[in-house]
Amino acid sequence: MAAIFGVQLVITMMMATVLSRIGPHLSFARWLLTSSYAGLVRYIHPSDEELKQYAPAPLRDKKEKKKSRIAEKNAQAQTNGTFSVPRNIELVLDKATVTLQDILQLRFYTEYQWLIDFSLCTFIVYILTEIYLTILPDRAALDSGNLSLIWCSLVLMFAYRTLLSLTGLYFEGDDGGERSLVLLIGGGYLLFSMMILIVNEDTLETGLDSAYSSFNKSAAEFLENNSGLDSAGPASKLVLKFFIALWCGLIGALFAFPGLRYARMHWDVLRMSENTRWVVFFHIGFIAPLILTTLWVRPLTRDPLTKHLYRGMTAPLMTSDQFETMRLYLVLGTVVYRLFLMPAYLQSYLNLAYDKVNELKQEAGKISNVDLQRLVARVFYYLCVVTLQYVAPMVMVFYLTLMYKTLGEGSWVAASKEPEECGLEPPASSVDEFVELESEEVITDDIIPPILDKDEEIRQQFSLAWKTLKNVFTTEVFRGLLGFSTWWLCFVWFSSAAIGMGYQSYFTNV
């Protein structure tokens, strides 16, 4: 492996060591919840001693049978430690800063810490690999592949599994309302994706048609050269789009409750900061994914920026490469921006304990001390679940965009002119010289076979396998599949939250 990947393997081993040795002591996930930057404050449920002063005195009855029943009931309640208090008591909840000891016992804390810390290490590996392959280009390293893509794939798998686990929580209970809502939203996204997949690419820049044509052509050539099979292609476009639609429906179902949760937190955070200047930043964070989805609609963004000429202009505002680069930066910047706003949203969720106690004051009747304590405590108990619902979609969008950039051969610094205008084609004389040198090398190799050591032989075999794979899964294939997947994630990311905002506005007004 060291002979194949070289410096990339060193970077991988270094980050794996950091993740296993330093991660348990310096965790970015813990810092996001317990640092002074986050400043999260939780509400402490009242103790039994505090609630007993609100408990009503037992009533006396003249009938002996009723007295005995009351006495028996009071004795049983004292044995179980439960008693009732009025719902409309003037209860003041104590506050406490969220600490490490508090979050260690929360549900899904291990999954949250692993996802965030592994995502951070993956980003460092990706950045170091990009710097190495850009500043110190090595032909052998480029031929052997990009090891950081394996890290990105693992992050996507972990985020996908986490969303599956969170969605599975709604299928455990006996109440089928949440289960039906997940299935309904997933079916709606499945139907909508089928409609999207038949839209002309002159309107929606999915890239799936060019990806299918490239894959069918390269796969047919591969089958013909290796097995002698004469085929027009191994797959049907209708079948491929059907499976893509199924994946789109599953993503919509997984993003359903994260979107509803984000909408509730957004509704609360707007109410908290209604008269402050921060409200503008929250509106920008909510609407940003909608802007991202328009970047794949040609008449709205690409054509006005890369094709149309306006008054006094001799060239469009930007080239196609510059537009692709701008799109990458906007997607990644939106994720970072929402991560910056995360403490305010998590605090709005923790304030639900205070809101629920205030709602009890508007109700008549009684409530047991255990139910009242559970009502307050369960808000903080599910803090890591809510945090995962907030960050898991962002993690998927972020790292799918990185894979789209790398496998689609995008650029972080696009050229100011189109390639044909930059004179990138080599002159004919240089091409002839290259052909002559190549033919001489072939003749020399046929006469005198090179003597290769074992490491070099392994490197060449791996490079040959990698080139064969790249010939089948070409850049157009990855650009189409990953580009459409990135757009779909951004679309579902926004639309699920928009559905939640409609739900909140309707039931709040009612």
Query: pLDDT by residue (tens digit) across 444-500?
Result: 444 444 554 565 566 566 566 656 666 777 888 889 999 999 999 999 999 999 999
- Residue 437: predicted pLDDT: 40
Query: pLDDT by residue (tens digit) across 74-102?
Result: 555 554 678 788 888 888 888 999 999 98
CA 8 to chain centre: 25
Instruction: Give the residue-averaged pLDDT of 440-447.
Output: 44
Contact in structure between 266 and 502 (CB atoms under 8 Å): no
Grade residue 2 by pLDDT with cuts at 50, 70 and 90: very low
Enumerate the β-bridge partners of residue 42.
96
- Residue 234: predicted pLDDT: 59
Q: Is the pLDDT of residue 510 over 80?
A: no
Q: Is the pLDDT of residue 430 over 80?
A: no
- Residue 73: predicted pLDDT: 57
Q: Which two tokens stand for residue 481?
A: 């599949």
- Residue 231: predicted pLDDT: 56
Grade residue 148 by pLDDT with cuts at 50, 70 and 90: confident
Task: Name the residue type at position 336.
Answer: V
- Residue 307: predicted pLDDT: 86
Whole-number Å distance between alpha carbons of 282 and 347: 14
Q: Which two tokens stand for residue 17?
A: 């060591």
Query: pLDDT by residue (tens digit) across 270-284?
Result: 988 877 888 999 999
- Residue 462: predicted pLDDT: 57
Whole-number Å distance between alpha carbons of 30 and 113: 7
Q: What share of the chain in percent tops pLDDT 90?
A: 39
Q: Is the pLDDT of residue 262 over 80?
A: yes
- Selected residue with higher pLDDT from 434 and 409: 409
pTM, full prediction: 0.84
Enumerate the β-bridge partners of residue 97.
41
- Residue 443: predicted pLDDT: 43
Phi and psi angles of residue 12, each rounded to the nearest 5 degrees, phi first: -65, -45
In our burial notation (b when 16+ CB lie closer than 10 A, e otherwise), range 154-175 reads: ebbebbbebbeebbeebeeeee
Instruction: Give the residue-averaged pLDDT of 17-34.
Output: 86
- Selected residue with higher pLDDT from 85 and 290: 290
Q: What share of the chain in percent tops pLDDT 70?
A: 76
Mean pLDDT of the chain: 81
Residues 6+ apart with CB under 8 A from 389: 166, 257, 258, 261, 262
Query: pLDDT by residue (tens digit) across 382-424?
Result: 999 999 999 999 999 999 999 999 988 888 887 666 555 444 4
Q: Is the pLDDT of residue 176 over 90?
A: no
Query: pLDDT by residue (tens digit) across 99-108?
Result: 999 899 898 9
Instruction: Give the residue-averaged pLDDT of 46-54.
Output: 80
- Residue 155: predicted pLDDT: 95
Neighbours of 282 (CB within 10 A): 20
- Residue 184: predicted pLDDT: 93
Instruction: Give the residue-averaged pLDDT of 313-336.
Output: 90
Whole-number Å distance between alpha carbons of 219 and 477: 11
Query: pLDDT by residue (tens digit) across 185-232?
Result: 999 999 999 999 988 888 888 888 888 888 888 777 776 766 655 555
- Comparing CA positions, the residue from 180, 181, 213, 208 lying closest to residue 193 is 208
Whole-number Å distance between alpha carbons of 160 and 396: 8
